[in-house]
A and B are shown apart, each in its own frame.
Chain A
Amino acid sequence: MPGPDILAATEQILSAFTPERPNLIPILQAVQGKLGYLPRSAMQAIAGYLRIAPVDVYGVVTFYNQFRLNPPGKHSVKVCLGTACHMKGGYIALDAWQRRLGISPRQTTPDREFDLDTVACVGCCTMAPVTVVDGKPEARVDPTRVDGILLSFGREPPAKDQK
């Protein structure tokens, strides 16, 4: 999204809030909800509106897991690393995602199709291991299921050796 649009969108959101520090997190959530991430110019505009130092906005943004500084991919893949998921192979699912998407957590594929991230626990421990794909929790995700989910997005797993 080009610069002026970012500012226009940010300002529109700001106008719904009073310029008070306790509104900082709800504002950041609203801006990220709209733009998908928190561009530098948006953070500066927010700081200006709340009359706080831009570094303070940056401090809050980098503190919380929810906020991101780069535009997201089209689909979001969040691997749950809760205790139950870990014991039932959440780390194996994460490995499989990393292998198939070719990226590490908190990265986006070069074609901007997929984001890979981890989440502390989504509270679906009885369905472990869980991966949240585009907001929908997927139960019992093993490496085979990873391939199945990717297939539903039109991504073929690497071709098997021809025998």
Chain B
Amino acid sequence: MNPINPAPAFRELRDKAGAKLRRLKDGKTVIMVGAATCGRAAGALDVLRAFRDEVKKHNLDCPVIEVGCLGHCYAEPLVIIGKPGWPPVAYGYVNPVIAERLVNEFILGDNPCPEFVLAALAPNDLLPSFQDFPRARYERKIILQNCGLIDPSDINDSIANGGYSALAKALALPPQKIIAEIQKSGLRGRGGAGFPAGQKWQACRDAQGTPKYLICNADEGDPGAFVDRALLESDPHGIIEGMLIAGYAAGADRGYIYVRAEYPLAVERLQIALRQAEDYHLIGSHILGTDYSLEITLFQGSGAFVCGEETALIASLAGQPGLPRYRPPYPAVKGLFGQPTVVNNVKTLAYVPRIMANGADWFRGIGAADSPGTAVFALAGKIVNTGMVEVPMGTTLRRIIYDVGSGIPKGKKFKAVQIGGPSGGCLPESALDLPVDFDSLQNAGAIMGSGGMVVCDEDDCMVEMARYFLEFTRRESCGKCTFCRLGTRQMLEILTDFTLGQGKLADLAILEKLAGEVGAGSLCALGRTAPNPILTTLRYFRNEYEEHITLGRCPALMCRHLIAYYILPDKCERSCDACVGACTVEAISPDKKRIKVIDPEKCVKCGTCLPACPPQYNAIVKLSPPSEVPCK
């Protein structure tokens, strides 16, 4: 146990932070603009500027704060206005014009502009609130609690919202007690495999050798996953606090955050957060006046998906190419520079302060027996409410997709849900009632992975989906071991032939066998899981493969070599030229009767003409195989 009680030092920090924040916010109107990367892509920085300009113009004493992601990414840019006398209100799809109106009508006047309101943050009599949304019933925010609601570049905001209080509590305990608590909580690693976090810490603590290292794995490379990015951008102090507790428990002397260089905003916010935490003596030597010291270094990954694998990540930190090595020995025993090393995923670390603050029993009370806690998913693809959701483990896929995500847009039919990225699989309609937890997903052929959940509708081709993922793993294979280096390429060749309509039925058997061999024979998890997208699509959507091979037809009308665009002559309106103007390669021209015709030689099948054709005519269709197009 630490001979020095961390509580007084923490109390002092908390009082100071509270006072600073009160000076900034109390009795004032506050504008919070969601400016995580996805908000920025939707124009959040223009909105931010518009608010600042307007506030300045009217000389208002009203802070405009950049916050992170609230999870309602479909409605970006998203803004929250807190005005004394009103519940805090969130506005969606905000643009600079709306920003100006909100300042003039709501902040200066008393009109909350209900037409732009997404929801109020608390139940009230005037405006609908998030609690009225169906998803509110199924969501349970633990690690996303602060996201989008606090200023990620102000440590005071974090501390005033409970940040670092769990650290103060933990540092008063002996490390062994923390490990025991985490083990009791049943916390499993959120990076993919679901290994018990406490067990890893214990192994590192027990291992011989100093120094010991703690690494936060923020190399989120799964295409389709963005939870780690959103967490780092929205609540970086939550992750740092988790690292400090984990490091203390595991006996680490030095910490690293390995973050992708493709996440520049996350890097920037982490840098700010680390500097502030250092200023507050929360990292470095003698944390909160105790004997515990931990330096934390930020390391930027250079773009290699394989570095999400822990031994490859460690090689990369040591200045080597990111090549995985044979395990055992596991990093907890022999890791960075040959020393005992704990590697934990961002999300795993984010749970740690919550568990320390609320206790293991509280955590165990949420979720499923063998997978306690919550699951955080990045919902993307063909789903109405794209964004980040946190639900208790054990929630069914159907609930997540239809109740939390509000189902499939444009009245389309659900086809599959892809979970776990290139290591995961595509699950069909029949799997929708599966409870989401580590083990059920694995049994169905998918994995929890890093929480990417991409929904596919009837327009998505499952063969193309498998080809896409194999192209990804082929590109990202490090090339060290035979199976992954050469096997992924062989499988990609076969799949590419299928999407070109050049496959043979015999290839299907070769592909299936090869997939099994690459899965069994590869050196690391990247290669071992690379066949999953193939195996699940073969298991659940074999008929689509067969149609590609035997009929040269893509049933989803997605594979470009197997489709053609065609303008139905009897539906095409002579006076309308919408498609002609829309076509970016000038492949469409009117014939003598002013009926539009597509030149198949010029058409690049980009599909821009399809939405351009006015709905009252609806004259453009996709046909597969291309030979379906009638000859003149």
- Chain A positions near chain B (C-beta within 8 angstroms): 20-26, 28-29, 59-60, 63-67, 81-89, 92, 95-96, 99, 119-128, 130, 135-139, 142-144, 146-147, 157, 160-161
Say yes or no: B38 contacts A126, CB within 8 Å.
yes
Smallest CB–CB gap between A51 and chain B, Å?
A: 12
Q: Look across to chain B and name the residue whose beta carbon is closest to the beta carbon of A122.
A: B262
Say yes or no: B460 contacts A60, CB within 8 Å.
no
Question: Which chain B residues numbered 572 to 617 have a C-beta less than 8 Å away from chain A?
Answer: 582, 584-586, 589, 604, 606-608
Say yes or no: A23 contacts B319, CB within 8 Å.
yes
Instruction: Kindly state the separation between the CA atoms of A142 and B73 in the bound complex, as whole angstroms.
Output: 20
B317 in the interface (beta carbon within 8 A): yes
23 contacts between A and B (CB under 8 A): A22-B319, A25-B300, A60-B320, A60-B321, A66-B303, A83-B224, A84-B454, A88-B381, A89-B606, A92-B606, A121-B225, A121-B226, A123-B38, A123-B226, A123-B229, A123-B230, A123-B378, A124-B38, A125-B378, A125-B381, A127-B42, A143-B608, A160-B586
Q: Which residues of A contact B337 (CB under 8 A)?
A: 22
Q: Which residues of B contact A139 (CB under 8 A)?
A: 41-43
Among A20, A21, A89, point to the contact of B607 (Cβ < 8 A). A89
Instruction: Kindly state the separation between the CA atoms of A124 and B74 in the bound complex, as whole angstroms.
Output: 11
Say yes or no: B318 contacts A21, CB within 8 Å.
yes
Q: Look across to chain A and name the residue whose beta carbon is closest to the beta carbon of B266.
A: A123
Q: Look across to chain B and name the residue whose beta carbon is closest to the beta carbon of A147.
A: B584
Instruction: Kindly state the separation between the CA atoms of A86 and B472 in the bound complex, as whole angstroms.
Output: 11
Among A59, A67, A95, A135, point to the contact of B264 (Cβ < 8 A). A135
**Chain B CB within 10 A, most for which of A25, A125, A160:** A125
Instruction: Kindly state the separation between the CA atoms of A85 and B460 in the bound complex, as whole angstroms.
Output: 12
Q: Which residues of B contact A89 (CB under 8 A)?
A: 606-607
Question: Which chain B residues numbered 365 to 424 have a C-beta less than 8 Å away from chain A?
Answer: 378-382, 386-387, 418, 421
Say yes or no: B452 contacts A83, CB within 8 Å.
yes
Instruction: Kindly state the separation between the CA atoms of A96 and B318 in the bound complex, as whole angstroms.
Output: 40
Interface-lining segment among B215-223, B281-289, B623-631? B215-223
**Chain B CB within 10 A, most for which of A66, A82, A126:** A126
Say yes or no: A120 contacts B262, CB within 8 Å.
yes
Known: A83-B224, A87-B460. A67 touches B418 (CB 8 A): no
Number of residues on chain B facing chain A (CB within 8 A): 64
B316 in the interface (beta carbon within 8 A): yes
Say yes or no: A120 contacts B305, CB within 8 Å.
yes
Q: Which residues of A contact B585 (CB under 8 A)?
A: 99
Say yes or no: A65 contacts B302, CB within 8 Å.
yes
Q: Look across to chain B and name the residue whose beta carbon is closest to the beta carbon of A121.
A: B223
Q: Which residues of A contact B379 (CB under 8 A)?
A: 126
Instruction: Kindly state the separation between the CA atoms of A99 and B378 in the bound complex, as whole angstroms.
Output: 32
Say yes or no: A87 contacts B37, CB within 8 Å.
no
B130 in the interface (beta carbon within 8 A): no
Known: A60-B320, A96-B584, A119-B262. A124 touches B299 (CB 8 A): no
B322 in the interface (beta carbon within 8 A): yes
Beyond A22-B319, A125-B225, A139-B43, list 11 extra A-B contacts (CB 8 Å): A65-B302, A83-B452, A83-B454, A83-B469, A87-B382, A89-B607, A122-B263, A127-B76, A136-B40, A137-B38, A143-B608
Q: Which residues of B contact A123 (CB under 8 A)?
A: 37-38, 220, 225-226, 229-230, 262-263, 378
Among B319, B454, B469, point to the contact of A21 (Cβ < 8 A). B319
Say yes or no: A138 contacts B224, CB within 8 Å.
no
Instruction: Kindly state the separation between the CA atoms of A81 and B337 in the bound complex, as whole angstroms.
Output: 34
Q: Which residues of A contact B478 (CB under 8 A)?
A: 63
B304 in the interface (beta carbon within 8 A): yes
Question: Which chain B residues numbered 438 to 484 have a C-beta less than 8 Å away from chain A?
Answer: 452, 454, 456, 460, 465, 468-469, 472, 476, 478
Among B43, B300, B380, point to the contact of A84 (Cβ < 8 A). B380
Instruction: Kindly state the separation between the CA atoms of A63 and B305 in the bound complex, as whole angstroms.
Output: 11
Instruction: Kindly state the separation between the CA atoms of A60 and B316 in the bound complex, as whole angstroms.
Output: 9
Known: A29-B302, A84-B381. A143 touches B584 (CB 8 A): yes
Q: Which residues of B contact A88 (CB under 8 A)?
A: 381
Say yes or no: A126 contacts B74, CB within 8 Å.
yes
Nearest 5 CB-CB pairs, A to B?
Answer: A65-B303, A123-B226, A125-B380, A64-B302, A83-B224
Instruction: Kindly state the separation between the CA atoms of A157 and B585 in the bound complex, as whole angstroms.
Output: 10
Q: Which residues of B contact A59 (CB under 8 A)?
A: 321
Instruction: Kindly state the separation between the CA atoms of A56 and B589 in the bound complex, as whole angstroms.
Output: 57
Q: Look across to chain B and name the residue whose beta carbon is closest to the beta carbon of A84.
A: B380
B261 in the interface (beta carbon within 8 A): yes
Instruction: Kindly state the separation between the CA atoms of A157 and B362 in the bound complex, as whole angstroms.
Output: 60
Known: A82-B223, A120-B472, A125-B224. A87 touches B456 (CB 8 A): yes
**Chain A CB within 10 A, most for which of B305, B318, B381:** B381
Q: Which residues of A contact B318 (CB under 8 A)?
A: 21-22
Q: Which residues of B contact A160 (CB under 8 A)?
A: 586
Q: Look across to chain A and name the residue whose beta carbon is closest to the beta carbon of B468.
A: A86
Q: Which residues of A contact B224 (CB under 8 A)?
A: 82-84, 121, 125
